[in-house]
């Protein structure tokens, strides 16, 4: 319905560029990004009870239990800054999570748009082998597609870049294996649901070019004058 908050669901394998494209959408639509990975890593950094319970799972690339992730997302989308809409980055990852997501969105009157970033397996491995992150501001870099101005140093605050534990090659391969087994079926789930599904080839083009394709697809769905609301 007109004026409903929009829920943009960024969907794709690890290393597909969900986080980068989500940040572009934040700037364009003026709605917050909700990254389940960031929320979980924050709990681990702060050594909360949740963080202590999931640290070993994430270290080995194992998916965190649905019930916990659903709870975190539910609490987050009830925050005031999500009233006009939000971007879900990394959620849902299983059909069970997808069903819960649809219930959550219905409860807040949000309407979903699913963006599937399609990337070749070997491209993903190459990307994540070269990925580095700033431990202070969280900015992501890549030695091939988005290198820092000074090797190993964050452009924004001068911190030394690090490799996240879940970006180690053996962990990446395990994450991709789990993605194929548990998350890939979500494509069929969304195709068979009433959700609007847009698929974008994100294997070759630079991130800003991929975003251009996404924006073209969404311009008939989201209203420019009143950011974050749906139009028909």
Pairing between strand 131-133 and 140-142? antiparallel
Q: Which of 18, 41, 76, 132 is catalytic?
A: 18
Choice among 23, 41, 127, 131 that is catalytic: 131
- The verdict on whether 18 is a catalytic residue reads yes
Show the 3-state SS of the chain.
CCCCEEEEEEEECCCCCHHHHHHHHHHHHCCCEEEHHHHHHHHHHCCCHHHHHHHHHHHCCCCCCHHHHHHHHHHHHCCHHHCCEEEEECCCCCHHHHHHHHHHHHHCCCEEEEEEEECCHHHHHHHHHCEEECCCCCCEEECCCECCCECCECCCCCCECECCHHHCHHHHHHHHHHHHHHHCHHHHHHHHCCCEEEEEECCCCCHHHHHHHHHHHHCCCECCCCCCEECC
Active site residue 175: yes
Extract the tokens encoding 51. Answer: 């963080």
List the structure tokens of 173: 């391969």
Annotated catalytic residue: which of 164, 173, 196, 227? 164
Among the listed residues 23, 76, 84, 93, the single catalytic one is 93
Residue 46 annotated to the active site: no
The residues annotated with a catalytic role in the active site are 18, 93, 131, 164, 175
């Amino acid at each position: 319905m007109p004026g409903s908050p929009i829920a943009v669901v960024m969907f794709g394998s690890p290393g597909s560029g969900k986080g980068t494209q989500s940040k572009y959408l934040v700037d364009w639509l003026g709605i917050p990004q909700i990254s389940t990975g960031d929320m979980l890593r924050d709990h681990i950094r702060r050594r909360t009870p949740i963080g202590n319970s999931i640290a070993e799972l994430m270290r080995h690339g194992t998916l965190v239990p649905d019930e916990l992730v659903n709870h975190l997302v539910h609490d987050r989308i009830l925050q005031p800054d999500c009233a006009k809409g939000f971007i879900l980055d990394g959620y849902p990852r299983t059909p069970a999570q997808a069903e819960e997501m649809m219930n959550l969105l219905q409860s807040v009157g949000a309407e979903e748009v699913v963006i599937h970033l399609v990337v070749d397996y070997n491209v993903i491995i190459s990307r994540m082998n070269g990925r580095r992150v700033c431990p202070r501001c969280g900015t992501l870099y890549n030695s091939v597609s988005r290198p820092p101005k000074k090797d190993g140093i964050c452009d924004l605050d001068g911190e030394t870049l690090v490799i996240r534990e879940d970006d180690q090659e053996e962990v990446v391969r395990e994450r991709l294996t789990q993605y194929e087994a548990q998350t890939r079926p979500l494509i069929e789930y969304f195709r068979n649901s009433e959700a609007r599904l847009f698929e974008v080839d994100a294997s070759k083009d630079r991130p800003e070019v991929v975003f251009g394709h996404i924006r073209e697809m969404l311009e008939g769905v989201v209203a420019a004058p009143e950011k974050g609301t749906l139009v028909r």
